[in-house]
Amino acid sequence: MQILTNGKCKSAEHRVITNSSRARLSISAFHDPPKAVKISPAAELVSESSPLRYREVIYGDYTSSWYSNGPEGRRNLDAVKLYN
């Protein structure tokens, strides 16, 4: 999400808060493009006032790296960031 929006939308870190007095229902939804797709910020969201913040990455490479790094995989976003 952050790459596609050039940093305008931030990915939330998932966390669970339990409540012993109420039942909880979880639903997950995944949007997974083909592994060969190149992911980069949308051209409409890059301008002189909002310069490119993330380099293009192949989706399959990005997700493979995320899964192989375990809990530290969430830092993969830093690997494609061009600047802070």
Domain ranges of the chain: 38-80
Asked whether 84 and 65 are in contact (CB, 8 A), the reply is no
Task: Tell me which amino acid residue 37 is.
Answer: V
Distance CA(10)–CA(72), nearest Å, equals: 18
Q: CB burial class (10 A; 0-12, 13-18, 19+) of residue 3?
A: buried
Mean pLDDT for 71-82 is 72
- Assign 79 a pLDDT band (cuts: 50, 70, 90): confident
- Assign 84 a pLDDT band (cuts: 50, 70, 90): low
Per-residue pLDDT reduced to its tens digit, 4-43 = 999 998 877 767 777 888 887 778 777 789 999 999 999 9
Say whether pTM exceeds 0.75: no
